[in-house]
């Protein structure tokens, strides 16, 4: 298992390196992690892991049942990713995410929600929070461009790794969410699967980094408070969407 996981990690890092080296060439580089596919190798691994964890194989499958996809779905996801290579450049994605981006729903059929559409006030709040989160991220991204070459590359890659996608894609998503809210399109606001928890995780990650390199207590406290405010805005937007029935990708 150790060698297997190390190889997978190396694959992602190789793709990240190629993305930087091939910038401006027209070549699009991304990584596809298909997801939980029950190949012979995977099933042998599940049997081993279940035993090590003191579980039955059936109990293990019950835990991960919502993440299991077929070989056909995994392959279709690869095809969709290639078709949408421009969008996925520089990212690490799953087969299901690629299919969703292509307009193909893989999830199991859910009951039709009878929850009413968002109110005008709620839509206004979504728009305001989306704009605030967008502006915060846009200012950060602009600041990254002012750094030295190697520091800039590290910051950009660190953001993409923790937040799940490049900052440019995040800005596009937030701008679209704000437009949908301004147009009072409740369905569009709630149907967009936005991994806001990953953006929140990035701000938590920034706080941990600050604790490691900011030595002056007063300066550290000020930085932590600022980043916590950024994180609070993201969490408020997340809570508002989930409360009204949006399905967030986590």
User: How many other CB atoms sit within 10 Å of the CB of residue 174?
Assistant: 25
CA-wise closest residue to 196 among 158, 148, 155, 164: 164
User: Which sequence spans correspond to the domains of the chain?
Assistant: 2-101, 120-243
Residue 107 confidence class, pLDDT cut points 50, 70, 90? low
- What token pair was written down for 128? 């305001």
CA-wise closest residue to 167 among 177, 176, 159, 175: 159
pTM: 0.66
d(CA 13, CA 172): 25
Helix or strand or coil: residue 163?
A: helix
pLDDT at 109 over 60: no
Amino acid 116: pLDDT: 54
Per-residue pLDDT of 167-185, as tens digits, reads 988 999 999 999 999 998 8
Residue 136 confidence class, pLDDT cut points 50, 70, 90? very high
Amino acid 228: pLDDT: 96
d(CA 41, CA 72): 16
Residue 133 Ramachandran class (φ > 0 left, ψ -120 to 50 alpha, else beta): alpha
Amino acid 114: pLDDT: 44
Residue 106 confidence class, pLDDT cut points 50, 70, 90? low
What CATH architecture is 2-101?
3-Layer(aba) Sandwich (3.40)
Percent of the chain whose pLDDT exceeds 70: 92
Could you tell me where the beta strands, DSSP code E, fall in the chain?
Answer: 31-33, 36-37, 68-69, 92-94
Per-residue pLDDT of 114-128, as tens digits, reads 445 788 999 999 999
pLDDT at 66 over 80: no
């Amino acid at each position: 298992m150790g060698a297997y996981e190390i190889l997978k990690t190396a694959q992602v890092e190789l793709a990240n390196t190629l993305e930087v080296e091939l910038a401006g060439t027209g070549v699009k580089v991304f990584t596809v992690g298909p997801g939980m596919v029950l190949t012979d190798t995977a099933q042998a691994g599940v049997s081993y892991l279940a035993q090590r964890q003191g579980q039955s194989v059936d109990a293990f499958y019950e835990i991960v049942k919502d993440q299991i996809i077929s070989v056909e779905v995994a392959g279709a996801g690869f095809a969709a990713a290639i078709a949408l290579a421009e969008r996925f450049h520089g990212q690490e994605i799953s087969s299901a995410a690629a299919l969703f981006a292509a307009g193909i729903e893989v999830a199991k059929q859910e009951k039709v929600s009878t929850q009413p559409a968002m109110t005008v006030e709620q839509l206004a709040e979504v728009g305001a929070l989306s704009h605030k989160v967008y502006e915060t991220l846009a200012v950060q991204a602009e600041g990254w461009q002012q750094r030295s070459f190697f520091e800039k590359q590290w910051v950009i890659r660190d953001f993409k790794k923790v937040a799940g996608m490049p900052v440019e894609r995040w800005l596009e998503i937030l701008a679209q969410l704000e437009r949908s809210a301004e147009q009072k399109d409740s369905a569009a606001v709630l149907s967009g699967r936005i991994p806001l928890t990953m953006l929140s995780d990035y701000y938590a990650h920034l706080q941990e980094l600050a604790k490691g390199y900011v030595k002056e207590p007063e300066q550290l406290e000020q930085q932590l408070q600022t980043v916590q405010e950024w994180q609070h805005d993201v969490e408020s937007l997340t809570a508002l969407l989930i409360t009204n029935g949006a399905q967030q990708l986590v």
